[in-house]
Every structure is written in structure tokens, then in C-alpha cells.
Structure 1
Amino acid sequence: MKTQVIKVDALNPEIDKIREAALILARGGLVAFPTETVYGLGVNLEDKKAIARLYEVKNRPRDKPLSIHIAHEHDIERFAGDISPYIWRIINKFWPGPLTLVLRSRSNGNVGLRMPNNKIALSLLAEAGVPVVAPSANLSSNPPPKDADSVLKDLDGRIDLIIDGGQVELGVESTVVDVTSLPIKILRSGAINITMLEKLSQSKEVLFVCTGNSCRSVMAQYLLEKELKSLKKTSICVSSCGVSAIEGLGASSSVISLLKEEGVDAKRHLTVRLSREIVLRADVVLVMETMHKREIERMYPEFIDKVYLLSEFADNIAVIVDDPIGKPQEGYRECYLQIKKLVKKVAKKI
């Protein structure tokens, strides 16, 4: 066999070349390609003969598992289930990037997943149309390759194609972390700082939701952040959004003024619309009105068990926090004081 080598622009991958490589992958070929860490050797996970050939070509121990490389975050739930909020926070922070996560698979086993931060890799994975596993493109006893020449030196005549995207960015293999339970377990040290991973895994996130994310949820977010800081609860993150928010607007001037009295600057706040990704990352979701809870249940029924009225979570009493929009400043202050009282209880309880 003659191994073909094609040069691809690392910044603007030529789609015709990517599709040629993707077709080889889909049909059971072995394709080496660059990631940000090292060159990987891609193969179609659904092709048993191709998988057997991969192990043979690399001289890889048969009991050493393979990780699936994905192109999009939404591919995660295709392969993994029972994904806790802290895992989504790790994903949000480090993907795409040099991190392989071992998660619970949908078949109740474990599965390794990685989303590389490399345009060639992401284009290839997206075009392949099949699940792709990709260990380093070298003989198992040799150092992981950082360029196409190193791949060729080890695997010339043994694999179908090498995509030459130049020198890799990092040259260090991905960090591999078992996040199936706490505490997380570092299975292989790599490019990601372990301390940051452990800190995220030990964190919690509170999400406040109102209608436009310009008033009530903003008050709640900034007041809780201040309260948590005074209680030295540094492992709790706070965020906010609105079920009908227009993204990128500022907080209400009345809200900015009230928070300024607390020594809190909310001028940089930008409105965010409710999304599944935001809800995924939260451990608890606190809403202002029953309509907000109903809207989350309609859109994302799988998360309703972690959604509470703010008053329900703080006081075990279902009392809504009315929207002060359109009311005079006194109406805003009344709403503000109600939220402040409830938030103090949340800070102690969370």
C-alpha cells in the first residue's frame, strides 16, 4: 500500500480535500490528521475490520480503549448519558480543546469523548458522517507525532492517507479525566491544568431566570454574588438569563442605580436568552414567576426537577416576584428589597 499525503490549509481547510479524506474514513480507511495536541489516526468506529486494523497498525494493546472525537457539542449526548451540570461546565470551559473526558455511555458502560480545537480536525469529523476514534498516529512504542513527516516515518505504507496540516500547536497529548463520579480522576496528565479541572468539578452554579434578563434576574445575580463573597463561598457560580430576552442589551437603568447603592457595578451586564446549554450547566434554576417555570418545562422538560420559584427555594413558599418594568422607581425598589431578602436566604442554603 502507498500512503497518500495531501496538504491542507490549517486556517482555511479546502472542503474538497476534507471530503476526500472523510470518504476514505467512512469506507474503513485509516486517515492521519492534525489536532491541536498531536496527529491522530482516525478510523470509523462502526467498522470492525477497520478497528482491528488500527490496533494492528499501531501495535496497540487490545485492552487499551479508544476515544471518540466529535465535531459539535450536541454530539455528546449521542454517545453519553447521565451528564451532571459540573461536567457541562468543564465542557463549556475547555472544549474545543486538549481534554478527553471519560463519561457514562448510553449503554451503561464508559466512553471517552474529545472535541479537538483544530479546524482541519473539526471539518473532517463533521464531514465523515460516522463516529471517529483517533489515537495518536504513531507506533505505540514511539513518541506521538507533531507533524506529518513523523507520521510518515512510523506509518508509511501502513495507512491510507495523511492530512498534512503543518506542525501542531501544542505537541502535548490531551489530558484524560474520568468524570463519571466525584472526585474526578486524572487518568493521563496533559495540556490542561489539573487544578482548574478539579476546581470546576467541585463548583456549583445557580441560574436566575426572569423574562427579559434586564431587571429581576440581574438584581438576583449580582446580589447573590455579593452575598456569597461575604460568606466566602467561592465555589458557587451565578448566572442569569431571560425566557424572552433580546440578547446583548444592558440592564435597566433603575436596576443599575439600585445595585450601585450596594456598591455593585452592573453597567457591563448584557442580556442573555434562555437556552438548553445554559440550563444544562446549572445545578439549580431559580425563576421569578410560575410562567417562567412553565416555559422551561415546555422547552426542556427533562430539567424541571431542578427548577424552583425563588421564594419556593428560599422560603418554601410559592410567592411570585412581580415584574417592575413600567413602574416608578419605588416599584423597582420594592422588587429589589424582596429579591434581596430572598437571596440572603439562598446564599445560606445553597
Structure 2
Amino acid sequence: MFVCTDNFTRSVIAEYCMKDFLSRSNKTSIKVASAGIRANSDISRYSGIHFNIMNELNIDTSDFKRTLFHENHFKEYDVIIAMSELHRDYIKELYKREIPLFNEVYNGQKTAVNIGAPDSKDFVEQMKKLVHFIYEATPHIIHNLEQRTTL
């Protein structure tokens, strides 16, 4: 499970990129989802351009639904991955659980997956880079998770 703030951009991109990769690889034993620590927030001002970019990559996002993170997710998912330090720290403070960052699982770097501000002039290009970054990281994430015995 991927966790971000609003369960609208980063965690959703990670979820759907992974679902797509697993489907194309015929790996059906891995359950993937995403959630947000504030998934009940107002997202009306947010851009949905990432859905268009994923659809251009033939990634089906038609069943997208925001999910609020809750403690039961620890029972439902073997691995919970934070998209940034904010999400990791929230889980640690509220649930007393350590979870890794996306980049930590991907390439060993303890850094956040960042997103640009929707009002920046190059936002669409930033979003394309973000989607492609996560898309290209996905096979490595799966491989690295399969190699780990504990997180």
C-alpha cells in the first residue's frame, strides 16, 4: 500500500503503475492499493493531469476511489510505503510503526517523491516526469520488495 496526503496524486500514481505492471507480468498474487492520511480533504483545486498521463501509457485508472488510511491497513497489507517524510512521520507518530519511503525501497535513498505546485508554469512537464519516474521505478520496487525479508 502506498500512502500520501490526499490519496489523489503520488500514492495513486504508484498504485496504478504497480497494478499495470503486475497485470502485464501476470503476477496476480500481489494486492496493491493506496490511501491518504487526509483522503477526506477538498481536492477541487488539484489537477487531474496525472490521470491523463497514465491513460496515455494505457494504464487504466477507471476504478479510482480515494481511501482514508486507517489502522486496519496494517493487517491487510504486508508492506506500507510512504511517499514522503510527512507520511512516514505521521504513521510513526499515530501508529508507532516504521514504514519505508518509496525512494528508500526503490533506490536506497531516504528522500521524498516530490510534486510541483499546480500553479507553476511547467507543472504539466513536472507531472509527466513524476508519472514516468514512478512508472519506471515500479519493476525495481517489486524486485526489491521480493528480495527483502523485513522492512
TM-score bracket, shorter-length normalisation: 0.7 to 0.9
- Alignment map for 1:164-313 (pairs within 5 Å): 207-246=1-40, 252-301=47-96, 303-304=97-98, 307-313=99-105
Greater RCO structure (CA 8 Å; 6+ sep): 2
What runs of 5+ residues in structure 2 fail to find an aligned partner?
147-151
Shift of the 321–241 alpha-carbon distance from structure 1 to 2, 3 Å rule, reads same
Report the alpha carbon displacement of residue 288 of structure 1 after superposing the two structures with TM: 1.1
| Equivalent position SS for 2:68 | coil
Q: Provide the rounded CA distance (Å) in 2 between the counterparts of 1:214 and 1:283.
A: 22
Report the alpha carbon displacement of residue 313 of structure 1 after superposing the two structures with TM: 0.8
Aligned to 1:344: 139
Contact kept, 8 Å, 1:321 with 1:338, in 2: the verdict is no
1:319 aligned to 2:111? yes
Runs of 4+ in 1 over 6 A off after TM superposition: 247-251
Higher strand share: 1
TM-score, normalised with respect to structure 2: 0.83
Contact kept, 8 Å, 1:256 with 1:267, in 2: the verdict is no
TM-score, normalised with respect to structure 1: 0.38
One-letter identity of the residue aligned with 1:223 = C
One-letter identity of the residue aligned with 1:224 = M
| Equivalent position SS for 2:27 | coil
Of the two, which has the highest radius of gyration? 1
| Equivalent position SS for 2:75 | helix
Aligned to 1:65: none
Report the alpha carbon displacement of residue 249 of structure 1 after superposing the two structures with TM: 7.0
Q: Provide the rounded CA distance (Å) in 2 between the counterparts of 1:323 and 1:213.
A: 13
Report the alpha carbon displacement of residue 242 of structure 1 after superposing the two structures with TM: 0.8
One-letter identity of the residue aligned with 1:299 = L
Report the alpha carbon displacement of residue 315 of structure 1 after superposing the two structures with TM: 1.2
Contact kept, 8 Å, 1:214 with 1:252, in 2: the verdict is no
Contact kept, 8 Å, 1:312 with 1:319, in 2: the verdict is yes
Shift of the 255–214 alpha-carbon distance from structure 1 to 2, 3 Å rule, reads same
Alignment RMSD, CA only? 2.2
Instruction: Tell me how many residue pairs correspond in the alignment.
Output: 141
| Equivalent position SS for 2:49 | helix
Q: Provide the rounded CA distance (Å) in 2 between the counterparts of 1:283 and 1:215.
A: 22
